[in-house]
Structure 1
Amino acid sequence: MNWSILRERKRLLSSLGYTALVALVAALGYLTLKIVESPRSEGPEPLSDPAALIEFEGFGARPERVGTEWQLRITLRLRTATTRPLDCQLFLVARGEQAEQKFVGAWPTLTPSGPFSSAGYFRGGSVSSGAPLTLTPSWQKVSGSIPMPNGPTTFHTVTVYVFGNKGEVLLARPFSISH
């Protein structure tokens, strides 16, 4: 057996393997560059925190008497932090307790097949029964009224829920109500 021929073949195979490895690294680098430079999709601009898509200010909740009934009038302003419009669904859910009795109210009215339990907690499912809203970078005023079955002190907190088109939670922000 000729050892010199075996050494030459080993060198040749080592050179070919090294060349293949360099070519593979170059190809992966090229593909990574193409992906990074490709235009983004038409959806919302990706943010590390989905809740950062929605900005809010000016939350207010006050009891109002309408005829003989009481309602909780809720107002706030919302906008998107992206440059593109954002279609979403909005729910306002109020909760309160009085002498071992719990009260829940919502705007729009909760449905049995909706995304909230009868206790007003999010359980998932279709969010299409919410108030449709298209948010833009400009502030948009939102208002809703929730009946207060036990007078002006029925509720103690209101949670603002904003859902995306695919049912993802974009904002779930509780607010305390002082009477």
Structure 2
Amino acid sequence: MALLDFATRKLRYRQLKHTIDSRLDHSTRGKTCLNVGGGYGDAHRLLSEMGFEMTTCDVDGSCAYCDLNTRLPYADNSFDLVVCLAVLEHLDDWQNGLRELKRVAKQLVIATTPSVYGKPVLDTLAAVRMVNKAHIDDHKYYLTRKDLLDHGYEHRYFTLFLNQLALLEKATQET
């Protein structure tokens, strides 16, 4: 792992936890969460420790298979929370990815992706091997604030404008 990859992941997970704490009530026990593209890594562990009933999927075969370039194998409104960290930039069809995250979420979608401002910084850090070069070279798109807003997501920058947080909160209906 390159030097800054660890720090970048920790900042992303800190942002995830803060967003969950501020957007969902504190009783996460029994709430369902889909972790898209994360494998059984740190995000899966963090969300499990927070009390979510986890489903994790990825294209790598390490867990349930899913591909955000296509339709996810889950029904509409299946999960209270849907999390997708550092995946959208790798997709051939990031627009479908945003639609699918929204479709399967019942309450909240949290996604992160590097910003267009991050591209030159990431390219430079990859060239000097301070971040994983193969991972950065695999970025197909750098989404803009407008891209996210146009798909109905809220938008926030974090980590000095290098990363962005896409949030979609669905109105919950009382039964």
Smaller-chain TM-score bracket: under 0.3
Richer in helix (by share): 2
TM-score by length of 2: 0.26
TM-score by length of 1: 0.25
